[in-house]
């Protein structure tokens, strides 16, 4: 599952390109350029990872894997990435992947 957030245009897009029958859906998100708050549908026992990119070529993970004990999964992250350190990009891309 991936989703794109455009800092410049405040647009949000979502896709599950690898699995058309995927139940993984972004339930909500708030991104202020530094802090990400999001939740998504999840399967208890699965482990998820959030990655981000400013160019769709190089992806960086937040440094954590999130194990789903309940559904939906919800996280807040504010200390592991700061897009201002990458030159204040106009686009920020995020994706949720199943890590395990």
Q: What is the pLDDT along the chain (100 residues), one digit of tens a residue?
A: 444 444 444 444 555 555 555 567 777 777 776 677 777 777 788 888 888 887 888 888 877 788 887 666 666 654 445 555 555 666 777 788 888 7
Half-sphere exposure of 5 (CA within 13 A, CB side): 20
pTM over 0.75? The answer is no
CA distance 82 to 42: 26
The gap from C-alpha 19 to its chain's centroid, in whole angstroms, comes to 17
Q: What ranges do the domains of the chain cover?
A: 2-98
Q: Name the fold adopted by 2-98.
A: Immunoglobulin-like (2.60.40)
- Give the span between the Cα atoms of 21 and 7, in whole angstroms: 29
Interatomic CA distance for residues 52 and 22, integer angstroms: 21
């Amino acid at each position: 599952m991936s989703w794109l957030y455009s800092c410049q245009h405040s647009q949000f897009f979502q896709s599950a390109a690898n699995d058309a029958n995927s139940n993984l859906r972004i339930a909500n998100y708030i991104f202020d350029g530094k802090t990400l708050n999001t939740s998504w549908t999840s399967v208890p026992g699965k482990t998820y990872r959030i990655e981000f990119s400013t160019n769709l070529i190089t992806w960086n993970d937040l440094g954590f894997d999130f194990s789903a004990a309940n559904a939906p999964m919800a996280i807040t992250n504010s200390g592991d990435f700061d897009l201002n350190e990458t030159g204040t990009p106009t686009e920020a891309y995020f994706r949720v992947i199943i890590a395990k």
